[in-house]
Structure 1
Amino acid sequence: MSTERTEHISSRRARHHPLAPPSWLLNGLKPSAAPIPWAAVARASVAMSVPLAVGFALDEPEYGALASMGALAGVIGDTADAYRMRVLNIAVPQLFGAVGVALGTLVYGHGWLAVGALTLIALVSGMISSIGTVASVSGLLLLLNAVIGAGLPLPEPWWTAPLLLSAGGLFVLALSLLGWPLHRRQPERTAVADTYRALADALEAAGGPGAPYDERRQQVTHALNHAYDLVLGRRARVHGRSPSLVRLLAQLNVVIPLVEAAPAAHLRGRPLPPEIPAAVRDLADAVEEGRTGTPVLELPAAHTPAERAVDAALRHAARIVYIARPDLDNVDDRLGRPAALRVRARRAVRDMVLSRASWRYGLRLALCIGIAQSLVSVIEFERSYWVALTVTFVLKPDFGSVFSRAVLRALGTAGGLVVAAAVLSEVPRGWWDVPVMVVLAGLIPAFSVKGYAFQTAAITPVILLLSDLLNHQGFDLIRPRLVDSLIGCAITLVFGYLLWPESWHTRIGDRLADTVDDAARYVERAFAPVADEAAFAVARTTRLQARRRIYRDLSGVRSEFQRALTEPPPTGARAAAWWPLVVAVERIVDATTAARVRVNHGAAPPPADEVESIARQLRELAVRVRSSSIPVRVDAGPPGEATSVLAPVHQEIAAALAIARPES
């Protein structure tokens, strides 16, 4: 049974116990199994403690605190694998953060002017967050630093704080790039090798029980997407042809036929010989170590179309992996070479301005920040910048459900305040803050991978310690900050969640319906007749792009599913009802790919009317899914001939169409 399915059943059982916490809260509080990034832990400890030490040495602790605060932003954004992506993930947000703190400093203490300025910044921050990961972090730092600048007395002149914050962030960047000269392409090479290893695990599970294979196939999809993002992202910034990069791209491309052959191998109903996954793992080692030469493969004889597909794909992959210098002009990019950065930037800005979702999120964030800043700047109610800061973190769109984030933020802040209380009451201010920061800063990347509540608990004492160095309130910070956090969470829940209708609806159905429509087009393209070899090559590339787009969409559906499970009833329960259909659509795509592979290796192609029938059933399913808030029963069409190459596709479609309305 898959891990996700086990967690789902466990959460359902927990709901039956009268004293058990709700399942959506348990999902948020359960720590992730992700490994601790020890290199990031070491960088965070050094990057945030050294500025403090320099500040104390120069008798300017406020300057050290600001530089350390900038380093905190760099630590949060230091999540990329590839070195060039680290430059973007850290340097670009630092620029936006510098602009934000400068604007906040200029309106500090100006009442309604501060409210208006932060509300406008929040609108811009929310809208640019929809562009992508780097833009999202940039939007967060823009608003975050603007709130800090408008809420804390910072050193004069106005450019001091932006300069120190940027210096701290760039210090993190410098530390993260120390290994670049020695390991320039190691992250990309490791990502490609990990794709081979994930595929070996899937081939090892092929032919056995469905759940382990499905889980490992999802890991292949994730690894493949990650590797293409790194390799093609790097290629977009390389002018001309780089032999080493082209070789890496060729090694990644050649894994695709093996990925396509895996579903066909699974449908055989019996495990593959152990020599096959072992050979794929050996290719992974060859990619990572940069081996060249002549591969030696000892594989069992292949008899069926599925076995021939695996054998041919594996032998071809071995030849390409071991080639020292592939043909620079004959490497298929599969997904196409990315457009230039300025072209993609123009497209992103245009899409952002024209997107209703972008405007809705920007307006939600602006409304909540405006209300929070009004409490701070205008109303006679002694509160701090922490209210708007809480709104900023809770409404950040990348972290899942707004409702659960508000609750987890309150719990995480309470846990962090316990640590902060111990530090502020027992540790004397001064040089003792440096070793304390070494420990607390290292906890941020270690806890961030475990979940949002854990990240909040790690960040809270760090921000409070740095805030104390700026405003010297000491232990008196503790109680107001807890109340401020609760007020910020309440503002977010009311004005950023309850008042917006989309908060009460899961988007799984709509996104799944789009994926089912794509699956119908994929079936048609997979078995469309071709006139000659050139047309066959074009059709294969188009089919490959369509299949990868479907799997990317399904990854998005899975992410939306996990997010929706953290919502309170009825949203979480409605989301859970879609899960069997999500799995069914994945199996339809797998069965279609397997059928195409069998045709490529000797099986008889299906008749055109059978292909049309399958596409029609899928489109009917998409219409029903799009028009319903929960899965509905749909009558299956004719089953087709049992001997047809598409017989497994018919079976999977029948299973998908037979998914019934859940019992109330």
Structure 2
Amino acid sequence: MGGMPREFPIGLTPPDWLVRNLRAHPATVDRPALVRAALALTLPLAAGLAAGRPEYGAIASMGALNGVISDTAAAYRVRVPTIAIPQVFSAVGITVGTLVHGRGWLAVAALTLVALVSGMISTIGAVASVSGLLLLLSCVVGAGLPLPGEWWLAPLLISGGGLLVLALALLAWPLRLGVPERAAVGGAYRAVADLLAASAAGGAREYDERRHAVTQSLNQAYDTILAHRARHHGRSPELTRLLAQLNAVTPVVEAAPAARLGGGALPPEVPQAVRHLASAVETGYSGPIGLRLPDPATETARALDHALRHAADVVASPDADPRGIDDGLGRPAALGIRTARAARNVALSAASWRYGLRLALCVGIAQALVSLVPVPRSYWIALTITFVLKPDFGSVFSRALLRALGTVAGLVIAAAVLAEVPRGWWDVPVMLLLAPLVPALTPRGYGYQTAAITPVILLLSDILNRLGTALLLPRLVDSLIGCVIALVAGYLLWPESWHTRVGDRLADAVDDTERYVRGAFGPDALGAFARARMRRGLYRDLSVIRTEFQRALTEPPPTGRRAAAWWPLVVAVERIVDATTAARVRVQHGAQPPTAAEVTQVARELRELAEGVRENETLHAVRTLLTGPADSVLEPLRQEVAAARAIASPR
């Protein structure tokens, strides 16, 4: 018996989708974020108690909680808009809510309209998503709670609390200027080093995971640097140099699949050299960098050697030509132009309208329900719907489940606090302990975030209405009602939300792959920078597909089972892109280029694969007639395309 794992009857084994929903995500603890949350939520409470107006301190602490939720950026230049812009929307939301508080059907209409606007702007991007969330959350709180003071006082207090988080976040800016940006670029180099190590010694699964990590790391680094340059007046030599260093690692990334497909052992000096470059980037070093690389003997080895020495030259250079950077990557549009584009896209996007209408329908139903049925402090229903229906927060079904479970866990903590801790100055040390749980548990998953936020909000609500433990049962009932409304009106009534979209997005990626093949080898072959942008865009799209795939797996059957059938093809398409890149690298370093007939044949097969994927709800095997010379540079690519077309899912 000893040492043997206990086996449960098959009927008692939890389903995979439930296990995936409940599993905590791995995450590192951001200690400065814990300190900021503790101070930002506690100081307003203490100030309010000292002034004899604890309710004012509670409202400011609500704003600080909004700021903690908004504080998702690591780089200081991005933190100002990331935290400040959502606070403006929060102030607008609580103003509207305060003005319609207690006005019956006018409040229903106002909240429904705000929900529509919130849902539509949430589809723009990360900052807009948080802004839309806080717009609706604050409006719901203002409409549901009788806030003290004049109508303008609550917006002032809630904005002040959010800006306190920003002020605390920026305290270390003079000491750490540029450090997060260099860390992002250095992290991309380290991810590439891990990929090269996996291409030499790791299995297929490890290599695929490392490649996905490279895509995510590059996306994060480019988003950080380009966003900063767009906001920077004039040219920043530091950001230009970092962007040049980031561009310089692209040839190394492109050589990795060639090394993988080459089959030969990659010398350990190669990934070690990339880690050496990463350290130079992270410290801001400029000067000679000695790389100890073996003499190249093959096309792949020559490609890696050339790419690494070029990267070393760029990293060592204290200056970078800004014209070359712009020509190679393109300069971000001005803020006004990007804002106008975003507004136009939202107004004309069917997806943004559909999501806005879903959110508006659910919030409208919730507000109509509480207007017809006397539900005390019913704003919690709309709060639940707002969190559950966020478009970029994952599966609606899983979020409703996790919201219910997280609320129960949070209520257990809140019950102990409200029952045993006297109101007054004791709220300050309690908040000092509860506040850090929000940034600590949020990266672990939505259920964990809900469990952390629930006691904080209930403590602040109790300061405003003094109901004590009488808050607990109504909050649980309200949360369950909100989850049911979100599941029925925001999930089951919208087939697009419970049908997997992996197949459609994968078909688009295959179409893009076909264009990539023609751009790499066709008669009108693209230049190196254009190919790099296309390849990077492909992997970015495939990363989104992986995220969509993981979301679909958390859905109950049959959606989760249908999504799982697409996974082999997701991996196969990634390998097709790898094989295309590897063939291009080999041609650049001496291999015989493919004939036009070979390129046309592979491109046609990819088009047919995309059509077959797009036409079927589930994936079936398709005919493959790829032939050509065995020694052709495209032979590995033909094999990957044949493997992709031969994949079949269970009928």
Common fold, TM-score beyond 0.5?
Answer: yes
Which residue of 2 is the match for residue 109 of structure 1? 102
Q: Distance between the aligned counterparts of 1:252 and 1:165, measured in 2?
A: 39
Match of 2:16 among 23, 28, 31: 23
Which residue of 2 is the match for residue 164 of structure 1? 157
Residues 205-216 of structure 1: matches in 2 within 5 Å? 205-208=198-201, 209-216=203-210
The structure-2 alpha-carbon separation of the partners of 1:61 and 1:25, relative to structure 1 and needing over 3 Å to count, comes to same
Which consecutive residues of structure 2, in runs of 5 or more, have no partner in the other structure? 1-6
Match of 1:596 among 584, 588, 591: 584
TM normalised by structure 2 equals 0.97
Structural RMSD (CA)? 1.4
Which residue of 2 is the match for residue 576 of structure 1? 564
Which residue of 2 is the match for residue 587 of structure 1? 575
Q: Distance between the aligned counterparts of 1:552 and 1:120, measured in 2?
A: 34
The amino acid across from 1:514 in the alignment is D
Kindly indicate whether residue 187 of structure 2 is the aligned counterpart of residue 199 of structure 1: no
Kindly indicate whether residue 538 of structure 2 is the aligned counterpart of residue 550 of structure 1: yes
Match of 1:646 among 611, 630, 634: 634
Q: CA deviation at 1:328?
A: 3.5
Kindly indicate whether residue 180 of structure 2 is the aligned counterpart of residue 187 of structure 1: yes
Residues 116-131 of structure 1: matches in 2 within 5 Å? 116-131=109-124
Task: Indicate if the aligned counterparts of 1:15 and 1:22 stay in contact, CA closer than 8 A.
Answer: no
Q: Which region of structure 1 is more displaced relative to structure 2, 237-246 or 27-36?
A: 237-246
The amino acid across from 1:646 in the alignment is L
The structure-2 alpha-carbon separation of the partners of 1:15 and 1:212, relative to structure 1 and needing over 3 Å to count, comes to farther
Residues 170-181 of structure 1: matches in 2 within 5 Å? 170-181=163-174
Match of 1:415 among 401, 409, 420: 409
Q: Which region of structure 1 is more displaced relative to structure 2, 116-125 or 634-643?
A: 634-643
Q: Distance between the aligned counterparts of 2:475 and 2:87, measured in 1?
A: 26
Task: Indicate if the aligned counterparts of 2:144 and 2:377 stay in contact, CA closer than 8 A.
Answer: no
Match of 1:314 among 289, 301, 308: 308
Q: Distance between the aligned counterparts of 1:150 and 1:552, measured in 2?
A: 41
The amino acid across from 1:370 in the alignment is G
Task: Indicate if the aligned counterparts of 1:376 and 1:383 stay in contact, CA closer than 8 A.
Answer: no
Residues 189-338 of structure 1: matches in 2 within 5 Å? 189-208=182-201, 209-332=203-326, 334-338=328-332
Task: Indicate if the aligned counterparts of 1:207 and 1:268 stay in contact, CA closer than 8 A.
Answer: no
Which residue of 2 is the match for residue 7 of structure 1? none
Provide the aligned length of Structure 1 versus Structure 2: 644
Q: CA deviation at 1:240?
A: 2.4
Q: Distance between the aligned counterparts of 1:269 and 1:356, measured in 2?
A: 47
Q: CA deviation at 1:15?
A: 12
Task: Indicate if the aligned counterparts of 1:334 and 1:544 stay in contact, CA closer than 8 A.
Answer: no
Q: Distance between the aligned counterparts of 1:125 and 1:334, measured in 2?
A: 37
Task: Indicate if the aligned counterparts of 2:88 and 2:159 stay in contact, CA closer than 8 A.
Answer: yes
Which residue of 2 is the match for residue 95 of structure 1? 88
Q: Distance between the aligned counterparts of 1:515 and 1:184, measured in 2?
A: 38
Q: CA deviation at 1:384?
A: 1.5
Which residue of 2 is the match for residue 11 of structure 1? none
Q: CA deviation at 1:638?
A: 2.1
Task: Indicate if the aligned counterparts of 2:56 and 2:157 stay in contact, CA closer than 8 A.
Answer: yes
Q: Which region of structure 1 is more displaced relative to structure 2, 346-355 or 413-422?
A: 346-355
Q: CA deviation at 1:299?
A: 0.9
Match of 1:356 among 350, 362, 369: 350
Task: Indicate if the aligned counterparts of 1:197 and 1:281 stay in contact, CA closer than 8 A.
Answer: yes
Q: CA deviation at 1:44?
A: 0.5
Residues 237-276 of structure 1 show CA distances to partners (whole Å, capped at 9, x for unaligned) of 1232222221111111100000100100111213311111
Kindly indicate whether residue 606 of structure 2 is the aligned counterpart of residue 618 of structure 1: yes
TM normalised by structure 1 equals 0.95
Residues 40-59 of structure 1: matches in 2 within 5 Å? 40-59=33-52
Q: Distance between the aligned counterparts of 1:638 and 1:384, measured in 2?
A: 63
The amino acid across from 2:32 in the alignment is A
The structure-2 alpha-carbon separation of the partners of 1:55 and 1:320, relative to structure 1 and needing over 3 Å to count, comes to same
Q: CA deviation at 1:529?
A: 4.0
Kindly indicate whether residue 559 of structure 2 is the aligned counterpart of residue 564 of structure 1: no
Which residue of 2 is the match for residue 9 of structure 1? none
Residues 288-332 of structure 1 show CA distances to partners (whole Å, capped at 9, x for unaligned) of 111121121221110110010000000111111011122333335
Residues 619-634 of structure 1: matches in 2 within 5 Å? 619-634=607-622
Q: CA deviation at 1:382?
A: 3.9
Q: Distance between the aligned counterparts of 1:172 and 1:271, measured in 2?
A: 50
Which residue of 2 is the match for residue 445 of structure 1? 439
Q: Distance between the aligned counterparts of 2:321 and 2:271, measured in 1?
A: 28
Which residue of 2 is the match for residue 83 of structure 1? 76
Which residue of 2 is the match for residue 464 of structure 1? 458
Task: Indicate if the aligned counterparts of 2:17 and 2:553 stay in contact, CA closer than 8 A.
Answer: yes
Task: Indicate if the aligned counterparts of 1:516 and 1:621 stay in contact, CA closer than 8 A.
Answer: yes
How high is the sequence identity, in percent, across the aligned residues? 65
Which residue of 1 is the match for residue 391 of structure 2? 397
Q: Distance between the aligned counterparts of 1:284 and 1:197, measured in 2?
A: 6
Q: Which runs of 4+ in 1 moved over 6 A?
A: none
